[in-house]
Structure 1
Amino acid sequence: MGLFQKSVEKKYVKELDANLIDVKYKAFQSYFGNSEIQDNIRNAKEEQFQEGFLRELFVSVLGYTLNPQPNFNLTTELKNIANSKKADGAILKESDAIGVIELKSTNTTDLDSIESQAFGYKNHHPKCVYVITSNFEKLRFYIQNAVDHIDFDLFNLTREQFSLMWICLAKDNLMNGLPLKIKESSVLQEENITKKLYSDYAAFREDVFRNLVSKNPQTDKLLLFNKTQKLLDRFLFIFFAEDRLLLPPNSISEIVKQWTALKEELDEYVPLYDRFKKYFGYMNTGYKGKKYEIYAYNGGLFAPDEVLDNIVVDDDILYKHTQKLSQYDFETDVDVNILGHIFEHSLSEIESVQAEIKGEKVDNQKTLPERQIGKRKKDGIFYTPEYITKYIVEHTIGKLCKEKRTELGIVDEVYGKGRKSQKKDTVKILDDKLNSYRNWLLNLSILDPACGSGAFLNQALDFLITEHHKIDNLRTQLLGGDIVFSDISTDILEKNIFGVDLNEESTEIAKLSLWLRTAQKGRKLNKLNNNIKCGNSLIDDPKVAHEKAFDWHKEFPNLFEEKNKKAWHITTATHNSRYSQRMFDNHVKWGKPVWLTEREEVIVTEVIFEIVEKDNLNILAYNICGDHIHILLVCEEEEVPSIVGKMKAMSSRACNIEMGRTIPGTTSDVTTRGHAPLSSKSGEIPVAPLSSESGKIPVAPLSSESGEIPVAPLSSESGKIPV
């Protein structure tokens, strides 16, 4: 839901005095929208601007009175009741703090990092309801707890966003408890919508299933029930997509309208389900007509299905229920969180229906909810509230991310200084650290072995998207320019998110929930069959779990395959070097050796380091020695030729460009291509695993022999290759 339910939020925004908002927004923009003032704020220290920030925003715009003015309701440095710690500011009502304010400079780009500190202050003031954190550029607003919040980008705030900030922070609104009232109304509204929508959704499923059983007696009941669920998933996605403008508006209603016209006006009857099947086909393959265009979202949800393509469904069933669901606004009234609740409620009912179809004994002395709870306990089906999944994600994945950022030396304040105040080499190192962190993020594997409807996986997805956006924000602060957030959700779904569940319908609903959260106009849905799978994640023995036995290594080979990695001592030499194996093997006449200059050695080292970082390679040690290079590389044997070839091609090309031998933007077979895999046949020095066994290639000592520049081993602590 976020902090407020969208339809409730819109209602209160609509009730605002438009003339008052115009005046206040103009006053706000004259200060916080001024580019020169923005630069001064970015250069100001935390202590220098704290009081100025409170005065310019809370006093001049939002209507508060700052201490020591008479009848003040805003103060700086409010001391905790139980200890000597102080919040940077507080909003007071009858001398009691109802809101605490924690401020940092713009160098603190991650407001998550001060969340616990701010709530620590709140907990010392019994009547405190609101928490505000800010780095002078961004402002975050909480009510009661840290589960949800609203972010405001003060330097780029639109009038619409200002209207919402006015509702949250204006003096009269806060003193009268309006934000809390809106939150409570939002919770109630979400509960009502969830109950009503689930009732309509469940009735749709029940009527379709009964109709399918009567119309398709030759088909297995359990299979028909599974296909009923898939059919509803298709309709839900379309309802969601048409209201989010991923599809032409009112697509379902238009299909029904056209079907009615064909039947009543043109006397050309076709079953309504045939019209829907045609649209499902468009969702799979795409369609471009004169009036509208449908993108081929596919993802597997709309792929051809032998059963769904051949069943019969009564017109009145589809007409009645699609018309009813069309009345919901899936943009404002129904968000992905409400659908998540519906999916979770749905699973228990699905289990009960499936049990009855299978002829399993049902205790009729118990109510349906009691039977469902019993079934859920038996099968291990439990549903985790959103605030719990958020807590788990933040204290598992979040902890890992924090440790990695520390390891790489990523400090917000350093990036906040920007490009101008730092050396060119330092800027590159800082940017490389962000690349390393992003690559590390994309190599995380997050698995829920009992994923249910995907609540935990969706929370993990949201967390990782936010983490990538933090990288984008830090890069913008470092390099300047407008922030552009990476479109990273498809990569995260493909590379990071994995789930298993005993219930097949659970896995289908989990996929749908992930699709709904990541769907974008004109972009194909991820195929999730290789990421979300059905099986018993605890048992791999078919004798025990039968068809649900789950072999982790077989189902997720990319995650669990055993890598045959070894440490390889790579020695590669320049042309005509005394170390060239080609010279010995082919008795080539000695020519003039190519010796790298110190500048070329630096270039080669920088290029190899860049490859190591981007490709996440494991290099134990590295030494460049004028006319040859030693590298200790850990990888699988078949990876060696491509890795070394890439290092040679890219480093030689970079040197040739630097020295004017190659024009940038062109290619040359001599300088950048034609690097064969390392072998004695190609004239290169052969590569062997590190080993002290006789007959193996000995490892040359990495020493400071004459003419060599010793290089320290790659280290994640230093974040670079020191030359």
Structure 2
Amino acid sequence: MPNNQHSLFDPDLVAEYLQQQEVERPSDTDDIIDAIEGWTGTDTSLTERNLQQSFVSDVFSDVLGYTRPRGSAGTFELLPESLSEGGEGFPDVLLGHFEQDDGELVEDERKVVGELKDPGTDLDKVDPSRLKSPIEQAFEYAITNGLSVRWVVASNMEVVRLYHHGSIDHYEEWEIDAFLTDDGDLTETFWEFYFIMHRRYLIGDDTDSDIENLMAQNLSERLELTEDFYEFYREAVQDVYDAIITEDPDLTETGDGQLAAIQAAQTMIHRGLVICFFSDHPSGLLPDDLLKDVVETGRELPTLDDRKIYPLVQDLFRVIDTGSPDEYPYDIFGYDGGLFEPDDVLQSVHLF
């Protein structure tokens, strides 16, 4: 699975959703297990074209319940490798609501486009022959297959990814090798895949599907989080501004002084946010809990001065700008990006 920064859904929402689906687990899973076993430990020289039909049949039809067209009449949900509505390119899989009568499609509502690649293919790597990655190719199909497309699927037959059509940066990913235990039983990873990707939950019937509703809830919570963050941000900037003009009341006597105080307050908050983000980054851009450690160190200094933390924070800002000297307790690379350059207002006051 991708890390939380790139997940399509909030993990807590997914956990709550899966708990609600517990009672929907099918009791007879023999056919599902048989279909999956053929795709665990994939190690073959056969190509996408050799394997595509079997993969679609086993995974999308037998496991996920998408029915295929048969004969000349009836409804179905899986339309393999059909020419896109835009007339450009052939998606490997189209999922949606389809109906044919007398051999002609009378309903064609495309909900999901799918791109399949050979086992071992890096889904994010640019294909020199196409000058785009498999993921970028899949998103082009989302554009050329009409406004009803909501989801994008990509797979190299070892992992399966699901994207919302509105974001190429966020996705859910499942490794097929993680679908079965050593004893051949279905894992919790599989059930997450099942209850998100299954026909009943991903595309539903005529109304919004369970996963569309989950996506709406996810976006709603992100919006609430954004609004809460900006409220916190405004309050934090105001607090720092108040502290600055308490230290230097002369700044309020001119418009330029007030503006400088506001900009200094924003700079202070931005620096704190960047330090916390870099400290929490998977690449370890700054030491873990760096700002918290510096503040706690200041609190424990044996001095009677109540405002003993600020000098250490100012030192930290300078080190992040220029890099840490040998005697500094943290090994920090100088980022020299402008944000941490000396600020006249912040250097002239003593805030805490």
The answer, yes or no, to whether TM exceeds 0.5 is: yes
Task: Give SS of 1:132's match.
Answer: strand
Q: Which amino acid aligns with 1:132?
A: V
In the other structure, the counterpart of 1:9 is 10
User: Does 2:131 correspond to 1:130?
Assistant: no
* CA–CA separation in structure 1 for the residues paired with 2:13 and 2:300: 40
Gaps of 5+ in 1: 316-723
User: Does 2:288 correspond to 1:286?
Assistant: no
Q: 1:76 aligns with which of 62, 76, 80?
A: 80
Matches within 5 A, 1:105-254: 106=118, 109=127, 110-111=133-134, 112-123=136-147, 128-133=149-154, 141-143=162-164, 145=166, 150=171, 152=173, 165-166=193-194, 168-176=196-204, 177-218=209-250, 220-244=257-281, 245-254=284-293
Relative distance call for 1:31 and 1:305 in structure 2 (3 A) is: farther
Relative distance call for 1:306 and 1:88 in structure 2 (3 A) is: closer
Displacement of 1:71: 8.6
Q: Is the 8 A contact 1:140 1:150 kept in 2?
A: yes
* CA–CA separation in structure 2 for the residues paired with 1:81 and 1:227: 54
Task: Give SS of 2:43's match.
Answer: helix
Quote the sequence identity (%). Answer: 18
User: Does 2:111 correspond to 1:99?
Assistant: yes
User: Does 2:309 correspond to 1:272?
Assistant: yes
* CA–CA separation in structure 2 for the residues paired with 1:293 and 1:10: 33
Relative distance call for 1:278 and 1:162 in structure 2 (3 A) is: farther
Q: Is the 8 A contact 2:301 2:308 kept in 1?
A: no
TM-score computed with the length of structure 1 as normaliser: 0.34
Q: Deviations over 1:99-118 (max 9, x none)?
A: 34444654994232353344
Task: Give SS of 1:309's match.
Answer: helix
Q: Which amino acid aligns with 1:91?
A: L
Q: Is the 8 A contact 2:298 2:309 kept in 1?
A: yes
Q: Deviations over 1:111-153 (max 9, x none)?
A: 3235334433344xx5x53343556567553435566663758
Q: Is the 8 A contact 2:264 2:343 kept in 1?
A: no
Displacement of 1:54: 0.7
Gaps of 5+ in 2: 100-106, 128-132, 180-186, 252-256
* CA–CA separation in structure 1 for the residues paired with 2:318 and 2:92: 59
In the other structure, the counterpart of 1:310 is 348
Displacement of 1:237: 0.7
Task: Give SS of 1:308's match.
Answer: helix
Relative distance call for 1:296 and 1:56 in structure 2 (3 A) is: same
Q: 2:41 aligns with which of 19, 34, 39?
A: 34
Q: Is the 8 A contact 2:298 2:312 kept in 1?
A: yes
* CA–CA separation in structure 2 for the residues paired with 1:163 and 1:282: 48
Q: Which amino acid aligns with 1:50?
A: Q
Rg larger in 1 or in 2?
Answer: 1
Relative distance call for 1:268 and 1:33 in structure 2 (3 A) is: farther
Q: Which amino acid aligns with 2:153?
A: I
Task: Give SS of 2:310's match.
Answer: helix
Q: Deviations over 1:364-408 (max 9, x none)?
A: xxxxxxxxxxxxxxxxxxxxxxxxxxxxxxxxxxxxxxxxxxxxx
* CA–CA separation in structure 2 for the residues paired with 1:288 and 1:31: 57
Matches within 5 A, 1:505-584: none
Q: Is the 8 A contact 2:35 2:59 kept in 1?
A: yes
Q: Is the 8 A contact 1:33 1:156 kept in 2?
A: yes
Q: Is the 8 A contact 1:98 1:130 kept in 2?
A: no
Q: Is the 8 A contact 1:209 1:228 kept in 2?
A: yes
Aligned residues: 299
Task: Give SS of 1:74's match.
Answer: strand
Q: Which amino acid aligns with 2:111?
A: G
Q: Select the structure with the greater relative contact order (CA < 8 A; seq sep ≥ 6).
A: 2
